[in-house]
Structure 1
Amino acid sequence: MKKERLLAASLYINSTLTQEEVAGIINVPVKTIARWALADKWKLQRIARQVTADKIIANYYTIIADIQAQALDENRQLTPMEVNNLHKMAASIDKLNSKLSIGNYYKILNEFASELMQYDIEAAKILGKHMMEFLNRKGKQLEP
């Protein structure tokens, strides 16, 4: 059952599969998958894998361009609130460029854990538990 749990976690975290689809693929009851997912925080791991500094920065640039385009279309100057928001987004972009995001931490640690699994599965399990504790702490530190 341990191999199924690791496989299920990998399938869920590294794809867009639902818990039901994962259960069908590895032939494990959906309730078991749901219990594993909750206990091992698969949703957080999936999000951490998908949310990267580059994606956040790209989103900020899109918002900045939209604000500027709207003002240009309306043939007006930016409002003080818009200027303030642009300033905040620019500061956030600078901060994101200078720090690792939780997604970066996850990617690095997950890569190491995957490598470790090839040599010592028990050590990888221990690392996985501590990795999630570390990511939770680091996520709280990185919150604005």
Structure 2
Amino acid sequence: MNSYKELIRNAFKAVVETPSYDLNIIEKYFSLEYRQYVDGEELDFDGFCKHMKAQKLAIKSSLIDFQTMVQEGDIVFTNHSVEIQTNEDRHALIHVIAEFRIKNDKIIYCNELTRLVSGDERERDLGSRQ
């Protein structure tokens, strides 16, 4: 069985924590069939790319801390937090519970709930901002 937990870790480091937007890196980890459901919003692959561009415009730095990660077959569940610093030097901590599905060694599906633990209310939509 593949270690899809490592795939998720690598994808977050390369796509989320890296301050620049790179479509080639996104395509390395995410399927063109990708669907994301986050806090009542639905994003397809193009919507996810817009979401990542919007995050890169708003965020100076982000750091992911996976507290729990469990794999069952091609499904990975995570309980993680994201510490961010915006370009305006605001800080926020976001708690995320997520289910990822993998197909052909790429992330094809994500269903997540996010919660702003601390920080400015303007960061509340960072999980789905486009």
Same fold (TM over 0.5): no
Greater per-residue strand proportion: 2
Which structure: larger Rg? 1
Normalised by the length of structure 1, the TM-score is 0.24
Where relative contact order (Cα < 8 A, 6+ residues apart) is larger, the structure is 2
Normalised by the length of structure 2, the TM-score is 0.25
Greater per-residue helix proportion: 1
